Amino acid sequence: MDHQDLICIDMGGTSFDVSLIRDGEVELKSEFDLQGLPILAPSVELVSIALGGGSIIQELSGGLRVGPESAGSVPGPACYGNGGKVATITDANAVLGRLPPEQRLAGTLQLDLKAANRALSSVGKLLNLDVASAAEQALEVAHFMMAEAIRELTVERGLDPRDFTICAFGGAGPLHAAFVADELNIDRIIIPSGAGSFSAWGMLQGDLRHDMSVTYYRQFNDAQSDLSIVLESLRERVLERVREDTDDLSLLRYEASGEMRYVGQEYSLLVPIMNDRADDELLASFHDAYFQRYGHAQRSAPVEFVSLRIAGIVSFANTDEYISELPTKPAASIASTQATIGGETSAVPIYSRDSISAKISGPSIIVEDSTTILLPKSWTVMPIGNAHLLMERSEQ
């Protein structure tokens, strides 16, 4: 797929997680927060908010609040039929017909629409709203929150989200992706094959990786004397760790990087070190990385190192067995349902994902065991390589 700049959104039952891929590379950071505590370990740069299919909808100060509380999996959303009585995002989608009542979730769970209606009615009465209005307005709040999470990772760093393609996965991501894209004026969305369990599949394709770092406070010009020595020492330590996990070192590779910043700054950037030298090429890479992150750079300002890092990576053979084959038969709807989308209620065709062999237009609902894909009327969808789906905003 020729999509090198992606906004990845993963929405499940409790959270909405956003990360970026730029120029085909996942953005990483050198530390992350755990319950407010800084953990000095490399991780994916992401924004996570407490918003998922189980997030509770409630009245607050004359308006609607979505989350951060969740109904969890037990009893779960009211429409699960397990005794849940509070309204959730899943209930809102159910009463609006965006989750077809005839479609069993995960192939087994029959939706209880009466319970979902009761739960949303109790919220709507507090605001003088009928069930459908309460559901639509709650989803509008949720979609705004999702867009704000994306803006935090893009706009607040000088990036234009319109330059990216959304990659939506998780059990609920494809259900909401088009509305989030509309909020941000993004024109393309990729729904990967097996979207509902895409993160789990990706984890199984991951490399064996060990990272070691060392504090290295040096002005850039003072680092040339011992930078290569420190990096070589880190490689030896990483090699010991890798040997604890595997005897096959034939595919082992090392990636060196340094945390760098302008002198006097508090925050640093992780910059790849290609040749173990503090040379003009590395300095230019830092300035370029700074410009890419913040939209400006001070190329004449002094630069310093904060730490050095070596990653030892062993890549294993990946598999495409999880990826479906493209269907060859013409797409035909398997049913239709009354659904409210964008304030309009109409009969919406339902397609099985494994039958999508050509472009179809919204409004449509596409179902599979692990997720549901919602296509508003201003969007089209077509299959691309390895049975992924590409949604695009139409010109109508």
| DSSP-assigned letters across all residues of 295-319 | S---TTS-EEEEEEEEEEEEPPPP-
Please enumerate in sequence order all residues whose Cβ is within 8 A of that of 351, keeping only pairs 6 or more positions apart, or say none. Answer: 331, 332, 333, 334, 360, 364, 365, 366, 367
Q: Name the domain boundary from 314, 349, 367.
A: 314
57 with 171, same domain: the answer is yes
Any domain includes 98: no
Identify the CA nearest to 97 among candidates 396, 357, 335, 360. Answer: 335
Q: Name the domain boundary from 261, 286, 314.
A: 314
10 with 136, same domain: the answer is yes
346 with 301, same domain: the answer is no
226 with 150, same domain: the answer is no
Any domain includes 88: no
Residue 38 pairs with which residues in a beta bridge?
A: 33
CA dihedral 137, 141, 143, 144 (to 10 degrees): 130
Asked if 47 and 145 count as a contact pair (C-beta separation under 8 A), the reply is no
Range of the domain at 289: 208-314
Q: How far apart are CA 80 and CA 89, in angstroms?
A: 12
Length of the chain: 396
Q: What is the pTM of this model?
A: 0.80
pLDDT tens, N- to C-terminus, the chain (396 residues):
567 889 999 998 888 999 988 888 787 776 766 656 777 677 788 888 999 999 999 988 888 999 888 888 888 899 888 888 899 999 999 999 999 887 776 667 788 899 999 999 999 999 999 999 999 999 999 999 999 999 998 998 888 999 999 999 998 999 999 999 999 999 999 999 888 778 777 777 778 888 888 999 989 988 878 899 999 999 999 999 999 888 878 889 999 999 999 998 888 888 999 988 888 999 999 999 898 878 788 998 999 999 999 999 888 766 555 555 555 555 667 788 889 888 889 999 998 888 888 888 879 999 888 889 999 988 999 888 767 899 999 865
159 with 297, same domain: the answer is no
The pair of structure tokens assigned to 3 is 């999509």
Asked if 368 and 352 count as a contact pair (C-beta separation under 8 A), the reply is yes
Q: How far apart are CA 326 and CA 204, in angstroms?
A: 23
Overall domain count for the chain: 2
